[in-house]
Amino acid sequence: MFASFPWIDMPTDLAIKSVLYKIAKREGIKYVLRGNDFRSEGTQPTEWTYGDGRQLNAIHKLYGKVKLKTFPNYTFSNLMYYGFIRGIKSVYPFYYLEYNKTRHRDF
């Protein structure tokens, strides 16, 4: 919050993703179901739609108050390791559902 970063849930998103892939590796799971959908979340301003472990580390270096020794960060090297070396794939079920934001905005 000290950094005034508009995408305040980025650390949580990265931690969830990191833990999902660590568990998939440990349990021998080859597919991870992901609940995000670019059609609904991709309408945010461009500045809000990017976040990765490197960016989180840079923000923490400037504004962080405690060490992130056990925080499950998800970096580019994690992406390469889990995706290409371990062969764990992401599946996005919401990509296959019909979505019309105007029609569904009242829910």
pLDDT digits (tens, 9 = 90+) for 51-98: 789 988 998 999 988 898 899 999 999 999 999 999 999 998 888 877
Domain assignment present for residue 25? The answer is: yes
- Ramachandran bin of 87, using left for φ above 0, alpha for ψ from -120 to 50, beta for the remaining angles: left
Domain assignment present for residue 21? The answer is: yes
In contact, 36 and 94? CB cutoff 8 Å: yes
Domain assignment present for residue 59? The answer is: yes
Domain assignment present for residue 3? The answer is: no
Could you read off the pLDDT of 12-52 as tens digits, one per residue? Answer: 989 999 999 999 999 999 999 988 766 666 666 666 667 78
- 3-state SS assignment for residue 102: helix
Domain assignment present for residue 5? The answer is: no
- For residue 97, give its domain range: 10-104
Domain assignment present for residue 81? The answer is: yes
Domain assignment present for residue 2? The answer is: no
The domain tally of the chain equals: 1
pTM, 2 dp: 0.78
Domain assignment present for residue 68? The answer is: yes
